[in-house]
């Protein structure tokens, strides 16, 4: 049960405050801010992200989510399911994103009334109520240009008189009466690779997380069936609530009546074998001496089916005592952030069979160097994306439409990108 909600600005000031039960005094926010600054003062490397998502105070358990600079804080006094609280707290910025296009302190302040109305609908007495964007938009109109014009001109709106289906139809996620001139539906299959790769290029752990993001612009009540060429390679999956689970269990097809607009149809996980050929290989070598180190990092492509790898970015956090860095690279640009002690190399696009990008150079520890600096391990964070490529090999076979007579345009795109991908030096 969620009792109260505070939305805090990046400086810890209350932007939104809402109480579904008793009024919880704002002192709790001061306590929370103190705890956050205390936690962050504990070490140089501690960031806001390292602050525990559940902090105990003498009277409350402070459940909090930090997203895009804003903190969503829910102090609770009773036993709750924290997972539910987290899910709900994340839903708030999700919905705001959906309504306002972006989420920030300013955006919230500009849309105070809408935000409060939304919160009122999203939760009743601590029970999450309506959180489907489709249903919410029926109850609380989104501020769009049309609305604004209508409001200022005083023209007739239909909001007041419209009959609202209220999440009470058999399909709470889909509103009735959707109509498009051209019917289309797009599927984006995005696979993120989470991997730990050791310095020899061997994957210590490696999995692909896929999502099928869907944008449905179909009229009426379309009933869809999406099938895959090779559904069995999926190890675990979860679905949007519209998907009929039994059909998946029995036939391994996705059968569903889609919500209108953007939604996540399916998430899945594929365990990749450890000898899996990863699309990109990063070979670091770092030789540490007493006062600094020499390094070079080489990027090469493997197994991308001839496709280029784009937006390649490498980040190498250096030890805190590092003061100087000199380097050179044959491709892209590098940058050293002397405050955060992070070396960032924007490699850009890497095309197969072209010369391999190399960054080499050296860095030096300051006077305060210690054994810890000389013995520290190094990890390189890797980002990249490959268009029209699916690492797992999952392929859509056909999409069939029932219950409606039109022929929709169907689009499928695939993309593979790095998720939490790191290489140990």
Partner 1 sequence: MSDAKFFQRGKIQELRLELNSDKKDRNYTRKKQTLKKIVANMTMGNDMSSLHQDVIACMSIPVLEVKKMVYLFLINYAKAKPEMAYEAIQTFRRDVEDPNPLIRALAIRTMGYIHVDKVTSCLIQPLRHCMRDQDPYVRKTAAVCVAKLFMQDRHLVENAGFIDLLREMLVDSNPSVVANAVAALTEISERSDHIQLQLNMSIASKLVTALNECSEWGQTYILESLMFVVPQEPGDAEMLAERIAPRLQHANSAVVLTAVKVIVYLMNYMSRDEDIHSMCKKLSPPLVTLLSSGPEVQYVGLRNILLVIQKHPEILKNDIKIFFCKYNDPIYVKMAKLEIMFRLASEHNVEQVLSELKEYATEVDVDFVRKAVRSIGRLAVKIESTAQRCVEALLELIQTKVNYVVQESIVVIKDIFRKYPNQYESIIGVLCENLDNLDEPEAKAAMIWIIGQYADRIENSDELLDDFLYTFLEETVEVQLALLTATVKLFIKRPTAGQDLVPKVLKWATEEVDNPDLRDRGYIYWRLLSTDVAAAKAVVLSEKPHISTETDNMDPVLLEELLLHIASLSAIYHKAPTTFIPHCKPRFLIPSPALRRQNYNAGRTLQHQDSYSSLHNSAQYQQSQSNMRSPRSDEDDGNGGLDEFVSSPKQPQHQRLSYHEQSFEQVAEASIGNQEYYEQKINAENPYRTDTAAVGGSQANRGGGVDLMSFDL
Residue ranges in 78-117 that form contacts with partner 1 under rule CB under 8 A: 78-84, 86-87, 90, 112-113, 116-117
Instruction: Give the helix/strand (H/E) hosting 148.
Output: helix 145-153
Cβ–Cβ < 8 Å for 28, 63: no
Options 231, 239, 303, 308; binder of partner 1; rule CB under 8 A: 239
Beta bridge partners of 296: 285, 360
One-character DSSP codes across 72-103: EEEEESS---HHHHHHHHHHHHHHHHHHHSS-
What values do phi and psi take at 119, rounded to 5? -60, -35
Q: Which is nearer to partner 1, 72 or 301 (CB)?
A: 72
By CB under 8 A, name the one of 94, 107, 233, 240 that touches partner 1: 240
211: closest CA among 184, 190, 232, 242? 190
Q: How many whole angstroms separate alpha carbon 330 and alpha carbon 279?
A: 21
| Strand-strand pairing, 409-424 and 184-197 | parallel
Q: Per CB under 8 A, which region of 176-184, 290-298, 314-322, 342-350 contacts partner 1?
A: 314-322
Closer residue to partner 1 (CB): 265 or 301:
265
Enter the DSSP assignment of 318. Answer: P
Minimal distance in Å, beta carbon 336 to partner 1?
18
- Assess 290 for contact with partner 1 (CB under 8 A): no
Closer CB to partner 1, residue 13 or residue 400? 13
Q: Which is nearer to partner 1, 196 or 356 (CB)?
A: 196
**Closest separation in Å from C-beta 113 to partner 1:** 5
- 376 in contact with partner 1 (CB under 8 A): yes
φ, ψ dihedrals at 95, nearest 5° = -65, -40
Contacts of 68 (CB under 8 A, 6+ apart): 93, 103, 104
Q: Label residue 189 exposed, middle or buried (CB < 10 Å: 0-12, 13-18, 19+).
A: buried
β-sheet bridge partners, residue 416: 191, 386
Asked if 232 touches partner 1 (CB under 8 A), the answer is no
Residues 133-162 that bind partner 1 (CB under 8 A): 151, 154, 156-157, 159-160
> Exactly one of 174, 175, 320, 417 binds partner 1 (CB under 8 A); which one?
320
Of 146, 149, 164, 335, the one binding partner 1 (CB under 8 A) is 164
Which one of 52, 176, 229, 351 is in contact with partner 1 (CB under 8 A)? 52
Matching residue, tokens 């049960």: 1
The correct pick among 170, 182, 200, 250 for binding partner 1 (CB under 8 A) is 170
Binding to partner 1, residues 334-353 (CB under 8 A): none
CB 206 within 8 A of CB 423: no
**HSE-CB for 368 with a 13 A CA cutoff:** 5
Query: Contact region for partner 1 (CB under 8 A) — 75-83, 221-229, 324-332, 385-393?
Result: 75-83
Binding region for partner 1 (CB under 8 A) out of 94-102, 322-330, 392-400, 417-425: 417-425
Binding mask 184-213 for partner 1 (x = CB under 8 A): ----------x-x-------xx-x-x----
Among 106, 147, 230, 241, binds partner 1 (CB under 8 A): 241
As a whole number of angstroms, the distance between CA 68 and CA 49 comes to 11
Count of residues near partner 1 by CB under 8 A: 86
């Amino acid at each position: 049960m969620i009792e109260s909600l505070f939305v805090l600005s990046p400086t810890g000031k209350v932007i939104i405050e809402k109480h579904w039960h008793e009024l919880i005094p704002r002192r709790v926010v001061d306590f929370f801010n103190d705890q956050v600054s205390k936690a962050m003062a504990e070490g140089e490397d501690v960031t806001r992200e390292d602050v525990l998502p559940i902090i105990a105070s003498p009277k409350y358990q402070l459940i909090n989510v930090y997203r895009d600079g804003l903190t969503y804080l829910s102090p609770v006094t009773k036993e709750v399911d924290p997972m539910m609280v987290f899910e709900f707290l994340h839903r708030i910025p999700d919905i705001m994103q959906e309504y306002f296009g972006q989420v920030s302190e300013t955006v919230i302040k500009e849309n105070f009334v809408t935000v409060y109305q939304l919160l009122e609908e999203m939760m009743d007495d601590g029970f999450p109520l309506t959180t489907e964007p489709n249903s919410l938009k029926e109850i609380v109109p989104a501020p769009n240009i049309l609305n604004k014009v209508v409001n200022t001109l005083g023209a007739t709106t239909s909001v007041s008189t419209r009959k609202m289906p209220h999440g009470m139809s058999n399909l709470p996620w889909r509103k009735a009466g959707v109509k498009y001139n051209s019917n289309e539906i797009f599927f984006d299959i995005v696979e993120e690779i989470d991997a730990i790769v050791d310095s020899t290029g061997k994957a210590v752990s490696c999995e692909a997380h896929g999502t099928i993001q869907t944008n449905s612009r179909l009229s009426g009540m379309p009933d869809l069936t999406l099938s895959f060429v090779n559904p069995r390679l999926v190890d675990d999956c979860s679905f949007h609530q519209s998907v009929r689970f039994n059909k998946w269990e029995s036939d391994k097809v996705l059968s569903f009546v889609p919500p209108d607009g953007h939604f996540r149809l399916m998430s899945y996980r594929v365990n990749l074998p450890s000898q899996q050929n990863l699309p990109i290989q990063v070979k670091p070598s770092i030789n540490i001496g007493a006062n600094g180190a020499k390094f070079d990092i080489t990027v090469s492509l493997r197994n991308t089916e001839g496709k280029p790898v784009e937006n390649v970015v490498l980040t190498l956090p250096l030890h805190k005592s590092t003061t100087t860095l000199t380097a050179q690279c044959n491709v892209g640009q590098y940058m050293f952030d002397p405050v955060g002690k992070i070396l960032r190399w924007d490699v850009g696009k890497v095309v197969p069979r072209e010369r391999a990008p190399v960054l080499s150079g050296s860095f030096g520890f300051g006077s305060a160097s210690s054994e810890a600096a000389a013995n520290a391990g190094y990890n390189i964070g890797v980002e990249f994306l490959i268009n029209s490529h699916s690492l797992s090999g999952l392929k859509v076979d056909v999409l069939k439409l029932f219950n409606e007579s039109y022929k929709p345009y169907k689009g499928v795109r695939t993309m593979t990108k790095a998720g939490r991908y790191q290489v140990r030096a």
